[in-house]
Amino acid sequence: MSSHSSSGGRPTDEDAVRYFSRTDPVSLRVVEAVAAFHGVDPLELRPLAEHIDADALNALFSTVGDGALDGAMVTFRYEGARVTVTGRGDIDVVGADPFGRRE
């Protein structure tokens, strides 16, 4: 798993934390990405299932990497962040304000 922040600390509105690992279910990778974004342990976050159907997310992106889902994308809010999962297997996490705009 890799992450990137050009600001050297917590990502700003121009930065994102990006994860490329494809070995774990996408729902687990989302929780890990959001925890890293906030600088907390994944167990400190509320269950992902309170925000999105984790089984459906896993099923949708189960074939990541074979090219079939290259144009697919799902974006949702989770724990004060806007999360985007792409068909290439990327998970982008950026801050989100209460109205759904980028912070």
For every residue of 51-68, DSSP letters joined together read TS-HHHHHHHTTTTTSST
Strand partners, 85: 74, 91
> The pTM is what?
0.72
29 falls within a domain: yes
41 falls within a domain: yes
> Could you give the number of structural domains in the chain?
1
With H, G, I as helix, E, B as strand and everything else as coil, classify residue 44: helix
* Mean pLDDT score, 82-101: 80
17 pLDDT tier (thresholds 50, 70, 90): low
| CA dist., res. 84 & res. 86, Å (int) | 6
101 falls within a domain: no
pLDDT (0 to 100) of residue 23? 74
* Structure tokens that stand for 92 in this block: 């982008």
103 falls within a domain: no
Q: Could you tell me if 9 and 17 are in contact, meaning their C-beta atoms sit under 8 angstroms apart? A: no
What are 43-89's pLDDT values in tens digits?
A: 999 999 999 999 999 988 876 656 566 678 999 999 999 999 988 87
Strand partners, 74: 85
Domain around 46: 17-95
100 falls within a domain: no
Residue 100 or 8, more confident: 100
102 falls within a domain: no
At residue 103, does pLDDT exceed 50? Answer: no
* Structure tokens that stand for 4 in this block: 């990137």
10 falls within a domain: no
4 falls within a domain: no
| CA dist., res. 21 & res. 19, Å (int) | 6
